[in-house]
Structure formats: C-alpha cells, structure tokens
Structure 1
Amino acid sequence: MIKKLTIAFAITVITAASATAQCSDRKSYRDIEIPCYKEFSSAEFITDGQQYREYLKGGQMAEYKITFFANTTYRFITCTGNSEIQVAWFLEDEKGNVLFDNTKHDNARVWDLEFKSTMDCHLKFYIAGQTPVARTSIINPLDTMSDSLREIVEAKMKEEKKDEAPEVSGCASVMISFKQ
C-alpha cells in the first residue's frame, strides 16, 4: 500500500513540475501557451495532449517524432514568450523530405494540414530569423584543436558573426490538435 502511494505521489510531483516548468522571465510554459491556444483554437479541434516546447538559444532547433493518422486534419499553433519572436517550423517525413515549411508562409502562427495516410514525421522548430542548428554535436570541435589553431578559428568565427543577425533566445512551443 505504501509503495503504491509513494509511486502515485511521485507521479503527481513530476506532472505538476512539468506543467509549471519555468521558461523565462518567471513565466511558465503554461502562461505562454494558454492565451495562445485560446486565441487560435476552436471547438472542432481537440489537443493531442503532447508537449512540444523548448527554451531555444540562438539557432538551436527542437525536434520531435510524431505519428500522424490517415484522413485526419491537424492544426499547428506556435507560441513564444515574446510577441516579437516567431517560431519557424517544418515537417519532414522519415526520408527527410520536407512536407511543410511555415517559413514559406511568412512564419504563420496557425496552419491546418490534412494527412491522407498514416505516417511518422519529424517536427522541427527554431526561432525565426536565426540560422537553425541541430542539437547533435556532443564534442566541441574546438576542444580537439591545438591552442594556436583554436585561436585562429575562433578569430575567424568571431569576424564572420559580425554580419549575422543578433542571437535571439526564448521559449518556443508548437501545439498540435486534431479535427473531431
């Protein structure tokens, strides 16, 4: 009995912690998502109940694998903690073919997509205006270079960054719902 209560308590604590997880500026993801969802949701769409959200720094890109079911229309809603920041997102099939890219539609915050067949896709999103970078590198290549070579490479990288847009960081969320 005590073991069951301990497990139930642990699940409750973990669920509550994830629901109120801090994003930035002491706002929770929930504080960011609820107004956005209310603005763009409709009675004919039901949330899929999953959380596709990240704190993204610069061009960091979030990636989630999702199964979409045949003959179903899905609504994608994007939100950030800052009204001046937009989310750029795209869907790829398992072979890496881009099925949809909202940057081709002025980073639309809401988009409905209908799937004719069941398929696994990769939802990838990042802060619009940043150069997207996948989070795959575990080892920093600069750590493997000699000191003199590292200094040369870092100086070159710093010079190249002068012309780039300033790095933007913030919370990004993609909410997905499906049509009843």
Structure 2
Amino acid sequence: MKNIRVVTFSVVLCGMGMGLSAYSQCKTDVENVGRPFYEVETECAKANSESSFLSDGKDYRALLTNNSSEFVVIFYADNKYRIAACTDVGGPLSFTVKDHKDNLLFTNKDYENAPYWDLVFPTTIECLVTVSLPDETKALAFGEAAPAADATSDSGAVEGEGKSSENAKPKAEVKPVCAVLVIGYKQE
C-alpha cells in the first residue's frame, strides 16, 4: 500500500513539473514571465490564415537561438496547404520545404521571409520543413547578446573552460525564441 502511494505521488509530481516547464517557455512583455506555445500558435493562425483552411492537427514548435529545427510533414495530393511561420518576438521566421532527395521545393527567404505561403502538391509527398531565425529576428530577440554565428545553444561547452580574460564582458543570458509553424489545408 505504501508503494502505491509513493508511485502515485511521484507520477503526480512528475506530471506537474513537466506541465509547468512546458507551459511558459515563450516571451512576454513582462520580465521573467513566460507564456505557452499555444498562444503564439493562436496569434499566428489568426494573423496569417483564414477559416477555410483546416489544421493538419500537428504541433510544429521549436525553441531557437542560432540553430534550426526540422519537421517531417506529409502533404497530400490536390490539397492547398498554407504554411504560416511565426515567432514570439514578432520577427519573421525563415522556412524551407525539401523533398526526401533534398531538393528545395520552396523557401520564404526568396520572398523576404513572408509570414505565410500557399503550396499545392500534385502528388502525395513527405517533406522536411526546416525553420531558422533570420538575422533581423535574432537582432530583435537578442540585441547585442546575440549568439555568434558559429555557436549553437547545445554546443556542449562548459562555462568557465578555456582562457580567461580580465577585460572579458560577462555574457548576457540569451533566451531562445519560440518558433511555430501552423499548417492548414483545404481541398482544391
């Protein structure tokens, strides 16, 4: 009986901890207060979609600093797909669509990082959609604390390693940018 209580208590604590950590990862105007991904998704859908598009029902979310994130998406034949890309800081989000042979099918970088684009596929195809932060969004999000172009948030480096310098400036904390894709479809 005691083991059941311990297990139940552990499961409840674990669930609460995961829920709280996943709940408020995105930025707000209030310092040290976060907001959930779904608010960014809702704003993105309202601003860049219309009611005739149905959600594909999947979540495409990433926390980005100077890296990119990839999502596998299946686009079905003869549907019009709207891909909307947003961030929690209000800056644009770059996205590319490639097929399984790494052929570039579309990138919004060619269109000044347009916040959404409509695509129609003649056949059903599995694609890799990659999102990344353009320089203007990095500047908006990080200011002078922007990470170096060759650094990533998961580089594995340990603070304090390497040469120290008395003139070195302390690094400002760089919080990742919430990036979301909202993919909707309608039959043609």
TM over 0.5: yes
Which 5+ residue runs of structure 2 have no aligned equivalent?
1-7, 28-33, 139-147, 164-173
1:66 aligned partner, one-letter code: V
Matched, 1:175 2:177: no
Any idea what the Cα deviations from partners look like across 1:126-153, whole Å, max 9, x if unmatched? Answer: 11126988x8xx885x89xxx9xx76xx
Q: Distance in 1 between matches of 2:184 and 2:107?
A: 18
| 1:71 match | 78
User: How many angstroms does 1:43 deviate by?
Assistant: 2.1
Q: CA RMSD in A?
A: 3.4
In the TM superposition, 1:65-144 aligns within 5 A as 65-83=72-90, 85-129=91-135
Q: Distance in 2 between matches of 1:104 and 1:132?
A: 21
User: How many angstroms does 1:67 deviate by?
Assistant: 1.1
User: How many angstroms does 1:168 deviate by?
Assistant: 8.2
Which has the larger strand fraction? 1
1:171 aligned partner, one-letter code: C
Aligned with residue 32 of structure 1, among 11, 32, 40: 40
Q: Distance in 1 between matches of 2:48 and 2:149?
A: 26
Query: In the alignment, is the contact (CA less than 8 A) between 1:127 and 1:169 conserved in 2?
Result: no
Q: Distance in 1 between matches of 2:82 and 2:175?
A: 26
| 1:157 match | none
Matched residue of 2:44: which SS?
Answer: helix
Query: In the alignment, is the contact (CA less than 8 A) between 1:127 and 1:168 conserved in 2?
Result: no
Q: Distance in 1 between matches of 2:105 and 2:35?
A: 33
Aligned length: 145
Percent sequence identity over aligned pairs: 26
2:75 aligned partner, one-letter code: F
Query: In the alignment, is the contact (CA less than 8 A) between 1:60 and 1:132 conserved in 2?
Result: no
Query: In the alignment, is the contact (CA less than 8 A) between 2:85 and 2:93 conserved in 1?
Result: yes
| 1:162 match | none
TM-score of the aligned structures, taking structure 1 as reference length: 0.67
Q: Distance in 2 between matches of 1:54 and 1:132?
A: 19
Query: In the alignment, is the contact (CA less than 8 A) between 1:90 and 1:102 conserved in 2?
Result: yes
Which 5+ residue runs of structure 1 have no aligned equivalent?
1-5, 152-166
Which aligned segments of 4 or more residues in structure 1 are displaced greater than 4 angstroms? 130-133
| 1:53 match | 61
Matched residue of 2:132: which SS?
Answer: strand
2:59 aligned partner, one-letter code: Q
User: How many angstroms does 1:118 deviate by?
Assistant: 0.8
